[in-house]
Structure 1
Amino acid sequence: MISEPLVSIIVPSYNVEKYVGACVDSVLKQEYQNWECILINDGSSDHTLEIIKSFETKDRRFQVFTQENAGLSATRNRGIEISNGDFLFFLDSDDILSSDAISTLVSSVDNNDIVTGITVTSKITGDIISKISPLYPPKEGDITFANNHFEVLTKAMESALTPVAQNRLYSKEFIDKNNLRFKNGILHEDELWFFETMLLAKNVKFVNHETYFYRTDNENSITSKLSDRNLESYISVLEEVYEKYIKKQNLDIAKWYNVYLKKLFLDFAIREREKLSDEVIRKLEKSLAKTYSDLPSQTYLSPKNEAYYRAMNKLTLKSFDQIKKYYVRNPVNSLRKRFKLFQITYLLK
């Protein structure tokens, strides 16, 4: 391994004049020095471009590009194409890095395709970062998965791992060898990216150290402005996984993970039902049926979780109203939840 590999930090930027200065300043303050920062203005109508161009004059490691609005996926993909680094790192333009973020991740590279630090949800006011909570790191702390048997995807299904693209150091060789790119034209592209990268990666390292602060107080983020398009994007992810990895490749792990995705997306639809139209709920019902597959006898899960996922798989064939009535979150840790699983498995027609 190169002792000080070049890290390409990719920062897509769209109408973030309130936040992007602090974000890019956290790159400038990195203890690790061998980086390039690719700042892409994605058709902003505010002062974002002026702000990021000011950093280009401060340090030659910043490169500024501008384009007509194309969306986050296309902008990240352009960053991948432009990059010269041995490793890639995606940074959202309203978030903040710890000063030792890149040095921490690089020091753990070894022969890993992906290295991840801990992301902490935070409120950020000037130089003050008020931490809220970490985003589902592995409970084991520092851990490396050989990932020969889809251990990372299994860990996500068993105990949740946050399916995001940012705050991970990706080997550029791994990304290019597998021709990995973000799906254009959708929101929540990270859910698909997480599945595809963790499906193919070997040696995935999780570092028990806070490296990334995820801003929760951006009123313009996609999680703050929910609409039918959010659920339509989730449907697109479901259908992509089904068509590419179940229908064409017949991958057992994809069949199990498909149920996990349905669980996540149903949880969203049930929670946000009042903000969603009847039409998009009908689209969801059709997609759940279209992407259904029988689960194989081979399982990657513990017996308790296997029973849960088999029940959820059966439930996805029902109407949304029935799903809402019987749906339970994992873990199944109460008599009420156990009874609902029993009803789904044995009584629900």
Structure 2
Amino acid sequence: MISIVVPIYNAENYIHKCINSILSQTYSNFELILVDDGSVDGSGQICEDFAKFDSRIKVIHQQNAGVSKARNMGIKVAIGDWVTFIDADDYIEKEYLSGLVKFALNQSMLIVQGVKKIGVDDKIIQILDYGDRLYNRDNIESLFHDSDFFHAGFPFGKLYNLSIIKEKHISFNEKISYAEDLVFMLNYICYIKEVKFIRGANYYYQIKTLGLSHKYNSFESEFLMYSKFIEYLKIIAVSNNFTITKESLYYAAIQFMRSIYSLYINNGYFFYKRISIIKQLKAEYYQFIYKYYFPKIDILKICKFLFLNNIYIFDLFCVLKFRRIRFLK
């Protein structure tokens, strides 16, 4: 049986389509866990109404605590053999579950499928189809040379073994608000033998348009994401006897600098506090950033140069620039 966990917060305009797409699956051996994360619209009642007509649906109401807490609550009550996650404003094709579960040949694996990115009008913006690939103990290192892996950090489009998650106490880190799903996936990979990418993109992922202040979280949250990313990479590399790939370190360097930029994008860090943090991190990570941080846009190239050469000018530059731009890529 598959446990489907859907975290919900103020999604009354989308949740009907999401739930109906799940209930229309050709694969019917599932439980649907709807976790209402303190919605103040009609989402909670909509969930209850659906549950009245389908015994496979469980509804949980909790005070608003964020998407990670909601997913963790879903994991806690799930009783399936496998678990997958779906966001409340997304939907799936009717063959989605059957397409995943037919590749669940052993317990110690992760199954990954691509997604279709859509706009608010359901127009397809991009199709991510990773094709058919299998990574195991013999070639797991090559997974971390694959740029698709880092772009597949969504919580959805995947099938996880629930017993491994529960036995190894794997959960979404509730202190991380960005890329917590990628950290979750890396933690899970520490304990499995195979990662299977399958052809297709039967999940429709609605792109959320957010301003810069919503893209970045506190320094503590951003730096924790970087730290956990590196921690799990090291575990996987050591246990499989390979050196962390350059591609992984390039990605890690981006996450490290995100944490630095968050000092400027979110208010609350005054000059002396910022300088103290930056001075300490520069001393420890100078060579790492020099070797592995290669931003593509000019403003970030300037940031790298200043960070490595003069943190006071770097600080002034970031104060003037990052509080005025809307988006970073």
Instruction: Give the TM interval when normalised to the shorter protein.
Output: 0.7 to 0.9
CA distance in 1, matches of 2:126, 2:95: 19
Aligned match of 1:11 = 6
SS at match of 1:155: coil
Aligned counterparts of 1:98 and 1:268: Cα–Cα separation in 2:
37
Which shows bigger deviation, 198-207 or 90-99?
A: 198-207
SS at match of 2:183: helix
Deviates more, 1:156-165 or 1:8-17: 156-165
Q: Aligned with 1:209: secondary structure?
A: coil
RMSD, aligned CA = 3.8
- Following superposition, the deviation at residue 285 of structure 1 comes to 3.8
Structure 1: stretches of 5+ with no match in the other structure: 1-5, 296-308, 328-349
Cα separation, partners in 2 of 1:266 and 1:146, compared to 1, 3 Å: same
Structure 1 residues 277 and 324: alpha-carbon distance in aligned structure 2, compared to 1, 3 A threshold: farther
Q: Could you tell me whether the CA contact under 8 Å between 1:97 and 1:211 is conserved in 2?
A: yes
3-state SS, counterpart of residue 16 of structure 2: helix
How many Å apart are 1:142 and its aligned residue?
A: 0.6
**In the alignment, residue 312 of structure 1 is paired with which amino acid?**
Y
Structure 2 residue aligned with 1:64, among 55, 59, 65? 59
Instruction: State which of 182, 192, 196 in structure 1 corresponds to 2:187.
Output: 196
**3-state SS in 1 of match to 2:19:** helix
Which residue identity is paired with 1:8? Answer: S
What is the TM-score of this pair, normalised by structure 2?
Answer: 0.75
Inter-CA distance 89–179: structure 2 relative to 1 (3 Å threshold): same
Aligned position for 2:114: 118
Q: Is the 8 A contact 2:7 2:70 kept in 1?
A: yes
Count of residues in correspondence between the two structures = 294
Question: One-letter code of the match for 1:183?
Answer: N
Q: C-alpha displacement at 1:215, in angstroms?
A: 0.4
Partner-residue secondary structure (3-state), 1:179: coil
Who is 1:337 aligned against? Answer: none
The within-5 A match list for 1:187-226 is 187-188=177-178, 189-216=180-207, 218=208, 226=214
Partner SS for 1:38 = strand
Instruction: Give me the whole-angstrom Cα distance separating, in 2, the residues matched to 1:255 and 1:283.
Output: 31
Task: Return 5+ residue gaps in structure 2 as ranges.
Answer: 308-329
Q: 2:159 aligns with which of 153, 169, 180?
A: 169
**CA separation of 1:60/1:119 partners in 2, compared to 1, >3 Å: closer, same or farther?**
same
Aligned position for 1:108? 103
Shift in Å, 1:34: 0.2
TM-score by length of 1: 0.71
Q: 1:178 and 2:168 equivalent?
A: yes
Q: CA deviation at 1:283?
A: 8.2
Whole-angstrom distance in 2 between the partners of 1:121 and 1:214: 5
- Is 1:33 the counterpart of 2:13 in the alignment? no
User: Relative to 1, partners in 2 of residues 1:310 and 1:266: Cα closer, same or farther, differing over 3 Å?
Assistant: closer
Give 2:123's aligned amino acid.
S
Looking at structure 1, the residues matched to 276 and 153 of structure 2 have their Cα atoms a distance apart, in angstroms, of: 24
Q: How has the CA–CA distance of structure 1 residues 278 and 206 changed in structure 2, closer, same or farther, with 3 Å as cutoff?
A: same
Superposition misfits of 4+ residues, deviation over 6 angstroms = 249-252, 267-270
CA contact (8 A) 2:229 2:252 kept: no
Distance in 1 (alpha carbons) for counterparts of 2:302 and 2:213: 27
The answer on whether the counterparts of 2:213 and 2:266 sit within 8 Å (CA) in structure 1 is no
Q: Deviations over 1:41-90 (max 9, x none)?
A: 01111111011111101211111010111211111111111001000001
Query: Retained in 1: the 8 A contact 2:6–2:33?
Result: yes
From 125, 132, 137, the counterpart of 1:132: 125
Amino acid at match of 1:131: I
